[in-house]
Structure 1
Amino acid sequence: MHLHSLGYRTDLIFARFQGLVEDHGDVTRVTNPDNPTHYFGNFLIFERPPQPGDLPTWEARFADLIGTPPTVEHVLFGWDVPAQAEAHLQPFLDAGYVLEENVVMSAPALHAPARPNRTADLRVIEDTDEAWAAVVDLQVAARDSRYQEAETAYRTFKEKQFLRYRAMARAGLGCWYGAFVDGVLAADMGVYTDGRGLARFQAVGTHPDYRRQGLCGTLAHFAGEHVQRTFGAQDLVIVADDHYFAKDIYASVGFRPTERQQLLLRFPRT
């Protein structure tokens, strides 16, 4: 199954580095045995949106190809349709799934935001245990309130996730970037490449104490310029919640909507 979506193609930069991506004809299987709690490391991408009667079939495919509790406690489905298409969603919503609607944004280059933060120290995160631990701490502090795991479970997930990001940086596939205010890590994000011109932004986070200071847009511009200069990236990609203000921040530095992406997520049952 050849993936058309720019969003999914750049998702797979990470899945292929530490995990498995397998073509099963009508569906692409993405698994990360080292981190089964990672939603986007363990999911199915179908070639078409859900249709009437798909709920039990798709759930059976997920159980067979991805796993079941207690190892894999979530269920996540996507479909490789770059434009928003008619989908039979109600049976999934009735069964407790949440519809995730994202906008895939891209740009050939970024520019500074209208009001950049001129006081923060912007730099690549050093390859030390202390520096990466600070990144995990920030990611936990900036956690999206929609995700329902206990903080300890979320921290465990982030620690595993950042082992991969650190390994990818060591492998020369990209960098993690930080904005420091008075020596404190206040905002961060990663950008990684596929080696063929695509670069994907990841896990943009700003500590709650430092929001609304222009850090996110300023750091995104810095990171975009660095990854193009250092890794030869030609197309920059970021995926944002279509109903969340962050997409406006990304637009302020030059990202433009390219695709729509819909997914169905069932959170772990409590």
Structure 2
Amino acid sequence: MHLQSLGYRTDLIFARFQGIVEDLGDVVRVTNPDNPTHYFGNFLIFDSPSKPGDLPEWEARFAELIGTPPTVRHTLFGWDVPPRGEAHVQPFLDAGYVLEENVIMSAAALHAPARPNREAELRVIENTDEAWAAVVDQQVAGREAHLNESEASYRTFKEGQFRRYRAMAKAGLGFWYGAFVDDVLAADLGVFTDGTLARFQSVGTHPDYRRQGLCGTLTHFAGTHAQQALGAGELVIVADDHYFAKDIYASVGLCPRERQQLLLRHPREA
């Protein structure tokens, strides 16, 4: 099937780098045999939203195409957008799934925010162990309070995630960017491309440096640099539909394009 969703098309930039993406006609299968615990490395994207009665069929497809415990403990479904009709999600919610809702935003080019931070130094993260370790530290420090996992498990997740980002940057697929205040990494994010679309990743600001305009300022700098350096076209970012960050992205010219919904069942023991 031909995916229309900007969100999923740019998700697959990362899935293809470290895993396998297969179009099976009515569903796209995403698998990462080396990391079966990675949610977005192991999930299904259907061509249309769930209908009444789909729960047992979708779970059977997931078991067949992705896996089952103890190897794969989560279950994650998405569907292409714009959807043909509303998703029928209540049976999934009754079975313990969580409905995640994101807004996909994009722009052909960005503009500076109304109140840019002019004090920070903005630059590409150097390819050194020390520089990338500082990024992981910053991401862990910026962990949102609502996350249920411990700091230790979150650090383990981030270390694995950033091994991939560093490898992708080394392969010429993108860059990681930092905003430095008095030589301290205060905010960071990545931008990676498939040659046509460019996708922002893991935008984070240290709690001590929030509300200083760093996020919008760095987003504008990074998007503009990535387009110039990588020759990418449309810039895409995925934001939680219920979180204020989308307003920051809008301040530099990113506009809502589509709404993305996913159904996730966390590992049973979680």
Q: Distance in 1 between matches of 2:171 and 2:32?
A: 18
Cα drift, residue 98 of structure 1: 1.0
Match of 2:152 in 1: 152
Cα drift, residue 39 of structure 1: 1.5
Match of 1:219 in 2: 218
Alignment of 1:131 with 2:135, yes or no, is: no
Q: Distance in 1 between matches of 2:254 and 2:83?
A: 18
Match of 1:141 in 2: 141
Match of 1:268 in 2: 267
Change (3 A) 1:89 1:58: same
Contact kept, 8 Å, 2:49 with 2:83, in 1: the verdict is no
Identity within the alignment, %? 80
Query: Which amino acid is the alignment partner of residue 89 of structure 1?
Result: V
Cα drift, residue 152 of structure 1: 2.0
Contact kept, 8 Å, 1:103 with 1:260, in 2: the verdict is yes
Contact kept, 8 Å, 1:49 with 1:87, in 2: the verdict is yes
Match of 1:76 in 2: 76
Cα drift, residue 221 of structure 1: 0.4
Query: Which amino acid is the alignment partner of residue 118 of structure 1?
Result: R
Cα drift, residue 83 of structure 1: 5.0
Change (3 A) 1:148 1:66: farther
Query: Aligned residues, how many?
Result: 269
Cα drift, residue 84 of structure 1: 8.0
Match of 1:94 in 2: 94
* Structure 2: unaligned runs, 5 residues or longer: none
Contact kept, 8 Å, 1:83 with 1:259, in 2: the verdict is no
Q: Distance in 2 between matches of 1:43 and 1:259?
A: 20
Match of 1:53 in 2: 53
Query: Which amino acid is the alignment partner of residue 254 of structure 1?
Result: G
Match of 2:122, SS? strand
Contact kept, 8 Å, 2:200 with 2:237, in 1: the verdict is yes
Q: Distance in 2 between matches of 1:140 and 1:70?
A: 28
Match of 2:63 in 1: 63
Match of 2:240 in 1: 241
Query: Which amino acid is the alignment partner of residue 193 of structure 2?
Result: T
Contact kept, 8 Å, 2:190 with 2:200, in 1: the verdict is yes
Cα drift, residue 229 of structure 1: 1.0
Query: Which amino acid is the alignment partner of residue 219 of structure 2?
Result: A
Alignment of 1:172 with 2:172, yes or no, is: yes
**CA offset digits 1:206-236 (Å, max 9, x no partner):** 1112111111000000001100110111210
Q: Distance in 1 between matches of 2:61 and 2:87?
A: 18
RMSD, aligned CA: 1.4
Change (3 A) 1:85 1:150: farther
* Structure 1: unaligned runs, 5 residues or longer: none
Q: Distance in 1 between matches of 2:224 and 2:61?
A: 41
Match of 2:33, SS? coil
Q: Distance in 1 between matches of 2:203 and 2:165?
A: 13
Change (3 A) 1:144 1:31: farther
TM-score of the superposed pair, with normalisation by structure 2: 0.96
Match of 1:9, SS? helix
Q: Distance in 2 between matches of 1:14 and 1:93?
A: 28
Contact kept, 8 Å, 1:84 with 1:261, in 2: the verdict is no
Change (3 A) 1:223 1:102: same
Q: Distance in 1 between matches of 2:112 and 2:204?
A: 18
Q: Distance in 2 between matches of 1:206 and 1:83?
A: 33
Change (3 A) 1:152 1:63: farther
Match of 1:36, SS? coil
TM-score of the superposed pair, with normalisation by structure 1: 0.96
Query: Which amino acid is the alignment partner of residue 188 of structure 1?
Result: D
